[in-house]
Amino acid sequence: QVLLHESGPRLVKPSETLSLTCTVSGGSVTSGSHYWSWIRQPPGKGLEWIGYIYYSGSTNYNPSLKSRVTMSIAIFKNQFSLNLTSVTTADTAVYYCARGIGDYEGFDYWGQGILVTVSS
Amino acid sequence: QSVVTQPPSASGTPGQRVTISCSGSSSNIGSHYVYWYQQLPGTAPKLLIYRNDQRPSGVPDRFSGSKSGTSASLAISGLRSEDEADYYCGPWDDSLSAPVFGGGTKLTVL
């Protein structure tokens, strides 16, 4: 059973950087059969894909967020991370990390999510 | 605005069969597998259907998926109160070179 767990500050001030980490257990971030993604869900709204990273470090980001997003992977910690800069109240959301399957497919495991509120 | 479209709501009575549609294009549903996720109130999304019509272990066979051309459907038979949730479809999209989600369908069991 693969488990993913998000961690990080739950309150971030406007204009600052949101930083989250996803810790993976029961599986390895070095798996060549998977990619690792961040997805968010503003309160009462739908799912929005933020970006993904492969163990090689190759990334792809949502064009609407690309200028503010950076993802990284820490192989020895079996973790991957999200940095979102210059946040505003519109970035308030539940942030999920998830494991994607292979190439061009969806997500088989999701973290429980972490609510991050942007407020002064 | 999502590149794949779902009805915002659906409803049915216990025991009924309901279907939820997901409409896309040749760059997403037309070219790739469709995944369906179930999000129960206050919880994270959970994989419900993968590769168009496959159920992960533990998902009841009341849930079924299908795909034809640039559209996909999720069917739930023998509707139960515990099926009340939000349902999202999610293919890959070649234009974005990324996974995308439909806007979600809120299923109400009357």
Is B37–A107 a contact, with Cβ atoms under 8 angstroms apart?
yes
Cα B62 from Cα B80, distance rounded (Å): 10
Task: Give residue B29's identity as a one-letter amino acid code.
Answer: I
Is A105–B96 a contact, with Cβ atoms under 8 angstroms apart?
no
The contact set of B with A (CB < 8 A) is 2, 32-33, 35, 37, 43-47, 50-51, 56, 88, 90-92, 96-104
pLDDT of residue A104: 85
Query: What would the two tokens of residue B95 be?
Result: 């234009």
Query: What would the two tokens of residue B24 be?
Result: 């896309």
Bridge partners for A8 per DSSP: none
B15 vs A17, A41, A95, B61, B87, CA distance in Å?
49, 31, 35, 14, 18
Question: Can you tell me whether residue A78 is helix, strand or coil?
Answer: coil
Nearest CA in chain B to A63: B96
**pLDDT tens for each residue of chain A, 120 residues long:** 999 999 999 999 999 999 999 999 999 999 889 999 999 999 999 999 999 999 999 999 999 999 999 999 999 999 999 999 999 999 999 999 999 998 789 999 999 999 999 999
Residues of chain B contacting residue A39, judged by C-beta atoms under 8 Å apart = 101
What is the per-residue pLDDT across A7-33, written as a single tens digit (0 to 9) for each? Answer: 999 999 999 999 999 999 999 999 889
A79 vs A23, A54, A65, A74, B106, CA distance in Å?
5, 12, 22, 5, 33
Residue A49 Cα, gap to closest chain B Cα (Å): 7
For residues B46 and B38, the answer to whether their CB atoms sit within 8 Å is yes
pLDDT of residue A32: 86
Cα B1 from Cα A76, distance rounded (Å): 38
Q: Mutation target for B interface from A4, A104, A114, A115: give the one with most B CBs within 10 A.
A: A104
Of the candidates B90, B98, B109, B104, which has an alpha carbon nearest to the alpha carbon of residue B20?
Answer: B104
Query: What would the two tokens of residue A103 be?
Result: 């190439």
Residues of chain A contacting residue B59, judged by C-beta atoms under 8 Å apart = none
For residues A13 and A31, the answer to whether their CB atoms sit within 8 Å is no
Query: What would the two tokens of residue B109 be?
Result: 């069991």
Residues of chain B contacting residue A100, judged by C-beta atoms under 8 Å apart = 99
Query: What would the two tokens of residue A69 be?
Result: 């997003």
| Torsion region of B92: left, alpha or beta (phi above 0 gives left; psi -120 to 50 gives alpha) | beta
**pLDDT tens for each residue of chain B, 110 residues long:** 789 999 999 999 999 999 999 999 999 999 999 999 999 999 999 999 999 999 999 999 999 999 999 999 999 999 999 999 999 999 999 998 999 999 999 999 99
Size of interface A-B (CB pairs under 8 A): 67
Of the candidates B76, B66, B75, which has an alpha carbon nearest to the alpha carbon of residue B33?
Answer: B66
Residues of chain A contacting residue B35, judged by C-beta atoms under 8 Å apart = 105-107
Cα A112 from Cα A110, distance rounded (Å): 7
